Amino acid sequence: MMSPRTVSALQSWSSVARWTLFGPLACVIVALTYNAVSFSDLGPEALQRAMASAIILPLLMAIPLFFFLSMRIRSLAITNRRLGLVARTDSLTSCLNRGAFTARVETQLTTDEGPRTGALLIIDADNFKTINDLYGHDAGDEALTILARSIRSVLSAGDLIGRMGGEEFGVFLPGVDQNAAEQMAERVRRAVQLAQFSPRGDAYMLSVSIGGAVFAQSTNFTELFRIADQRLYGAKRSGRNQAAIVHTLDQPQVDIRKSA
């Protein structure tokens, strides 16, 4: 199956071909109609020459003109698409940024075609400040890219990943139940722990804490985030490097004061 980017490119070139072909053809038809009416009383020979010019001149002029204009339109469309991608994407990790991630999840939750079940995971790097303090912010940025790549490596088609800010990521899993959400959270945790990270040549094991909210009824992003965030703090307080997943219908209260 072709990627969306490939399909989009093919559609764009198809549009260029259509404009280059049908634009001049329309000009020829207009010119033929006009000349047939205007020169019909000048005799067969003059009419024949007029009809020939109605074909040749529009083709000579319109083909390069329509090709140039369609290429300019295609270039503008590609630029707009790239700008839209930049506006939605976190430049460091290539994940959706917080606004785009929130909007995409909210759209899925509120549309009739959206998933009836699913889960939101909030993933936070453990002791991230230590990396910045020991090795500098460049190493911290490298760690974030590794985290994003590790998380993305275990996701399925249709899952969404976004950077919520700092060292925190969000993952939306449409169509999963609590068991599948717990399995995915564990795969994420293990993928991060197995990732290779060696700032200044020193082996450093990354780990994450994960909070998750599973739903099987109408809900919204704000409610899912609130519950998942509470579970995240619970995982942090319980020792880090673990996941805590709860169903929205059965979630105990948690002291959400952030652990030191």
CA dihedral angle for residue 25, residue 30, residue 36, residue 38, rounded to 10 degrees: -150
Q: How far is 147 from 124, CA to CA, in rounded Å?
A: 10
Q: Do residues 134 and 45 share a domain?
A: no
What confidence tier does 82 reach under pLDDT thresholds 50, 70, 90?
Answer: low
Residue 44 lies in a domain: yes
Per-residue pLDDT of 198-254, as tens digits, reads 999 999 999 999 999 999 988 999 999 999 999 999 999 999 999 999 999 876 544
Average pLDDT, the chain: 85
pLDDT more than 90, % of the chain? 57
Q: Do residues 82 and 108 share a domain?
A: no
Q: Do residues 34 and 130 share a domain?
A: no
Per-residue pLDDT of 118-128, as tens digits, reads 999 999 999 99
Residue 162 lies in a domain: yes
- Whole-number pLDDT of residue 244: 96
- Whole-number pLDDT of residue 7: 42
CA distances from 226 to 95, 114, 232, 249 (A): 21, 21, 10, 13
What's this model's pTM, rounded to 2 decimal places?
0.68
Token duo for residue 22:
């049908």
Catalytic residue among 113, 167, 182, 223: 167
Q: Do residues 141 and 164 share a domain?
A: yes
Q: Do residues 184 and 79 share a domain?
A: no
Q: Is the pLDDT of residue 139 over 90?
A: yes
Q: Do residues 55 and 169 share a domain?
A: no
Q: How far apart are the first and last CA of the chain?
A: 48
> 88, 116, 131 — which closes off a domain?
88
What confidence tier does 85 reach under pLDDT thresholds 50, 70, 90?
Answer: low
Q: Do residues 126 and 208 share a domain?
A: yes
Q: Do residues 69 and 116 share a domain?
A: no
Higher pLDDT residue, 210 or 91?
Answer: 210
Domain of 173 in residue numbering reads as: 98-247
Nearest to 171 by CA among 143, 187, 179: 187
For 52, the enclosing helix (H) or strand (E) is: helix 44-88
Q: Active site includes 167?
A: yes
Domain count, the chain: 2
The CATH number linked to 126 is: 3.30.70.270
